[in-house]
Structure 1
Amino acid sequence: MQFFCDESGQTGSNYLDSTQPFYILGGWLKPDDINSEKFKTELASIIAGKEIKASRLVKNPKGRATLLKLIKLAINYNLIPVYCIVEKRFAISARMVDELLDPEYNDFVPYSITYDEWGISKYDLAIMFYGLPDDIINEFAKSYSNHDISGIMNSVNRMVIYFDNSKYKPLSEIINNSLRCINDNPSFFNDDNDHHTFSHKIDKKKATQSVNWFTFYTLLDILDAFADKNNISISITHDEQHTYDTSFTSMFNAMTVGEDYVSHFQNKPKRLIKNKLRRLDFVNSKDSECIQLSDALVGSWNNVLKYGIDDETLVIDESTQKLAETVLSLITNYNCLHWMVSEKVTTNLSNVFNLRSQ
């Protein structure tokens, strides 16, 4: 099978851009037995010689109607949507938990947290960090991305003060212990530390600390598991990535050459890849109508998700409602979806489109 991939919501190091709170990476798995000529003809008739850019089309009813036609065309031809949806603020919060509350490096944290048996889950801890002020989250995210130890320590110090004056006061002492860890291990966030073994074996650039990089890793994992379960192989065609194509290619190569990298997420070791992914190519979206079809999917998701953040000022007309209903209906196969979005946004999203449509 062929997987066509694009992204939406890329903001580089501006992790808390209020206009782009989500990062979506994904697209469509195209079955080999599809009636290619008929499909291409219908797709071309909708595109009508113009490059599809969802970021432009979502801005008006006619554009949203076009996006809806494209998504329904893919559904009618049994293309399979596969995508990762990441709320950036929640992703950063989860990264804080992984780095600052790792029992391997923080003696105040029991190993039972790995199994979510500490009386509080890692998800709950991420929600606590989610409530930190924007400037603290941004400082940590940028310092972490740039391997800036002084910036990381400053942001952690500010977290300690913040939690010490909040209802999560016990968390303050635990986080404070991570400062000793950083002081005692100056290379803690550096490339050569085993704490980052997999990512830095693959690519020693700061791209490995970005939302994009970890999301792409997750997408590969989903695709590989799907291919293994269905006894097929998958080739990936991704829209050109001027910033990340090198690191993405390095990751893909490292994960598919057969070396037995192991992930211990939530203390459940598993091989990262089963060699079901055959190749990764980057092409200009102008030259691939199927990548444009993927752009329609991820761009539509990005537009719909924003209603979970701000459901009062954004206007919902008939075209928005129909597009949202169609996009949300795609959440049926959880094996082809990674949903890293806070419960608050998920609930808001459901209420907006369910209640307002009645």
Structure 2
Amino acid sequence: MTPSLTAFLDESGNTGANYLDPQQPIHVLAGWLVREPNLVGFARAVETVREAMGMPELKGGRMLTTTKGRRQMLRLLEEARSFALPIFSIWEKRFCAALRVVETFLDPMHNPRADWLPAGANLQRNAVADKLLACLPLSYFEKFIAAFRSPTRESLGKIASAFEAALRIAGLEKLAWSFAGCVGEALDEIVAGERHTAEESVRDLGLEPIPRNVSGSLSYPSFAHMIRTVDFLFEKSGRRGIIVHDETSEFARSFAATFVFFKRLGPAHFGTIEDGRTLRGGIGFVDDLVLRNSRDEPLLQAADVLASALKGQGLVALGLMEADKTLDEAGRLVLPGLIQDQFDCPPWSCVASEEFKSRLLRPIIPNPRQ
């Protein structure tokens, strides 16, 4: 019998729908893809590190704050490569706020003045988000996120007008003209589109609705992206398997509903997006989603350590944490996947500004763009 696969996942930096929390500027969802014969050996490696740390349960966030913790973190990352494939997505929250602005107001399905920015043109849309971040104060995005949590015609209309005026002052006439299209019927469609989010989509299938505070958070798109990525990896390996995620009281029911939603959609491929990656609909090769307490599952602790290690790399990139030799070595272990392009649905991704990506890759690319 072909050995099954298990993906162990955990996240770090979750702040719900608060994209601009200065204390948590990075969101990471990460874990390990493990073949059945390697489960026991990997668990033993985790237990060895746990005993060395003298902790009842490995907590990557705490390990990141001490020299001993970082060394043991590096040790676990090195040993894990013998047992599993690392999988992760890194999200720069400030950039994601700007990308939400683009997705909300510059969707050509609702705003005819955004027809120059097709939905599948992810590279162009990322470039627009980068441009917004570069020319507008953070306060514009803070006001947008506040309105986005509970969208109304009045609140989103005011935000669109404010962006239009600021972009005209900045000399970005094409963008300003596009934001000016968010009026009348277009604005009505934008508001309706935001209200008919994941909550309505799962209700249409007879599932428990996903609350706006969940679907509007980064945990939702990162989880949806990851389960489809894992499903694609299962398909390519010719094996089936399950996902094991750390328990979370806030998102447990919504994650379960999301999993069923994508399961019912099935693994349809809807073509490719601008950067050549596969646009995947649902899932068909992941048999189950299991939520467990990390205290009872060593490999979830390993997922937490990986997520925290990646979050540390992000904090260094933002200048919020000092780099050292151990962190750099950890970066050289886990970051190279971000510059590989042989995957049409890569196990590693980073949703972030170009500046952040450049600084994130500092441990593996000398002299990144300053």
TM-score normalised to the size of structure 1?
Answer: 0.87
Equivalent residues of 2:117, 2:124 under 8 A apart = no
Matching of residue 16 in structure 1 with residue 30 in structure 2: no
Tell me the CA shift for residue 209 of structure 1: 2.0
TM-fit CA distance, 1:40:
3.0
The equivalent of 1:96 in structure 2 is 101
Matched, 1:43 2:46: yes
| Map of 1:129 onto structure 2 | 132
Structure 1, 296-305 or 90-99: larger mean CA deviation: 90-99
- The alpha carbon displacement at 1:284 in A equals 1.2
Instruction: Give the residue type in structure 1 aligned to 2:239.
Output: I
Change (3 A) 1:258 1:234: same
- Residue-by-residue CA offset, 1:65-87 (whole Å, 9 max, x unaligned): 0111111111022x011111111
1:16-37 Cα shifts (integer Å, max 9, x gaps) = 1223211111200111222x44
Conserved? CA contact 1:199–1:208, under 8 Å: no
Name the SS of the counterpart of 1:257 in structure 2: helix
Shift of 1:171: 1.2
Corresponding residue for residue 250 of structure 1 = 257
The 8 Å contact of residues 182 and 188 in structure 1, kept in 2 or not, is answered as: no
Structure 1 residue matching 2:81: 3-state secondary structure: helix
Higher mean displacement: 184-193 or 128-137: 184-193
Alignment of 1:76-95 (within 5 A): 76-77=82-83, 79-95=84-100
Aligned sequence identity (%): 20
What one-letter code is carried by the residue in structure 2 that aligns with 1:15?
A: Y
Rounded Cα–Cα distance in structure 1 between residues aligned with 2:94 and 2:46: 36
Give RMSD over aligned pairs. Answer: 3.0
Per-residue deviation, 1:50: 2.5
Q: Find out whether 1:275 has 2:284 as its counterpart.
A: yes
Question: Is residue 2:228 matched to residue 1:217?
Answer: no
- In the alignment, structure 1 residue 305 sits paired with structure 2 residue 306: no
Matching residue within 344, 354, 360 for 1:349: 360
Q: Which residues in structure 2 correspond to 1:165-244 (within 5 Å)? A: 165-181=169-185, 183-185=187-189, 187-189=191-193, 191-192=195-196, 198=201, 201=204, 203-206=209-212, 207-244=214-251
How many residue pairs match? The answer is: 350
The match for 2:73 is 67
Indicate the SS of the match to 2:192: coil
Name the CA shift for 1:265/1:151 in 2 (closer, same or farther; >3 Å): farther
Deviation at 1:107, TM superposition (A): 1.8
CA distance in 2, matches of 1:306, 1:5: 21
Q: Any stretches of 5+ residues in structure 1 without a counterpart?
A: none
State the TM-score, normalized to the length of structure 2: 0.84
Helix, strand or coil for the counterpart of 2:37?
coil
SS state of the match for residue 11, structure 2? strand
Name stretches of at least 5 consecutive residues in structure 2 with no aligned partner.
none
Aligned-residue offset at 1:92? 2.2
- Does the residue aligned with 1:236 lie in a helix, a strand or coil? strand
What is the CA–CA distance in structure 2 between the aligned matches of 1:46 and 1:10, rounded to whole Å?
25
Match of residue 29 from structure 1: 33
> Counterpart in 2 of 1:296?
305
- SS at the partner of 1:275? coil
Residues 258, 349 of structure 1: alpha-carbon distance in 2 compared, 3 angstrom cutoff? closer
Pair 104,316 (structure 1): closer, same or farther in 2 beyond 3 Å:
closer
Q: How far did residue 349 of structure 1 move?
A: 2.7
- The residue aligned with 1:2 is 6
Distance 1:42 1:114, change over 3 A: closer
**1:141 aligned to which of 135, 145, 159:** 145
Partner letter of residue 181 of structure 2? N
CA shift for structure 1 position 200: 6.4
Of 349, 358, 361, the residue aligned with 1:338 is: 349
Give the letter for the 2:85 counterpart.
I
State the one-letter code of the partner of 1:339.
Answer: C
How far 1:152 sits from its partner (Å)?
Answer: 2.3
> How far 1:146 moved relative to its partner?
2.4
The 3 A distance-change label for structure 1 pair 111 and 197 is farther
- 1:228-281 Cα deviation digits (max 9, x unpaired): 111111201111111111111101012113568886885999652341011111
Deviations 1:94-144 (A, max 9, x none): 222222112221122226634649xx9222212122333212112212321
Alpha-carbon spacing, 1:246–1:274, altered in 2? closer, same or farther (3 Å): closer
Asked if structure 1 preserves the Cα contact closer than 8 Å seen for 2:164 and 2:180, the reply is yes
Secondary structure of 1:45's partner? helix
Q: Is the 8 A contact 2:265 2:281 kept in 1?
A: no
